[in-house]
Amino acid sequence: MKAHSSIGDPTGWVQDPISHRLVSIFSTPPLHLVAPPQHIDGAEWYENEESCGKAIRDFMKRTGTPRSEIFFTTKLMHNKTDPAWVEHCVDVSTQKAGISPDLYLIHDPNGGPEVRAAMWEGCCRVKDKGKVKSIGVSNFGVKHLEDLLAGKPKYIPAVNQIDLHPFMTRNELVAYCESKGIVLEAWAPLVRGMRFKHPAVVELAEKYKKSPAQVLIRYGLDRGFIVIPKSTHKERVIDNANVFDFKLEKADVDRLTSLDEFLVTDWEVSTVP
């Protein structure tokens, strides 16, 4: 997974997924890994760490794929005031999955500034101990990140995974993260299918001879985001991966960005205190 710098670098590992890889999210078994490299997005909250780990191990055994070709993310569910809690949770997640996480995220910003600071200190500790390769956050807004970085932590988040798509563009957050070297990861790039029939999406799908899903995935990639389209259907996973033979013209990227309507696809906690 080495890119322009090492995977241990706060931002270096993300370049290869953005440029050459599709990252896939699965929430329920069976998990379909179609071809390496793959990114499997898990979480304690999803209750899928065990099934993700099993799918990865089975795939490696069946295909001879090295562990380095599969990227595994999982997340902390309950925020507390003790940094040691993070190490405990990482150990439990690793035991469940049977593999250590490549990326570990604080799942949400709930709890307030002191709790977030404590959980981030815990993340820095597990990174230093080599229990995870990279650390980041999920669903954090600008204020949460400002508060976190004001404490001058040892590491800045490598990633902020959040609801991000043409109908939820979060321009201020994107600009802030880019200014700090924090990579945006879109957890609902397909908008849950809610805008597949939007006229602009349909028109661009026809223009590029691609599906609406492929256009939306390509949009995220062309914005420089990591995208994690969710599917439990093997044929859709394969279809979602067929996005590296085209790019959207800048005018089309801008057109999609202009469709922002602050559409929440699941939950929205980026403004909690």
DSSP string covering 115-128? HHHHHHHHHHHHHH
Q: Say whether 46 is catalytic.
A: yes
- Residue 142's closest CA among 109, 99, 104? 109
Residues in the chain: 273
Could you give the CA distance from residue 175 to residue 240 in angstroms, rounded to a whole number?
27
β-strands 24-25, 226-227 pairing: unpaired
Q: DSSP labels for the chain?
A: ---SS-TTSTTGGGHHHHHH---EE--SSSP---SSSEEEE--TTTT-HHHHHHHHHHHHHHH---GGGEEEEEEE-S--S-THHHHHHHHHHHHHHSS--SEEEE---TT-HHHHHHHHHHHHHHHHTTS-SEEEEES--HHHHHHHHHT--SS--SEEEE--BTTB--HHHHHHHHHHTPEEEES-TTGGGTTTT-HHHHHHHHHHT--HHHHHHHHHHHTT-EE--B-S-HHHHHHHH--SS----HHHHHHHHTT-----SS---TT--
107 annotated ligand-binding residue = yes
For the annotated binding site for substrate, the residues are 107
Point out the residues that are catalytic.
46
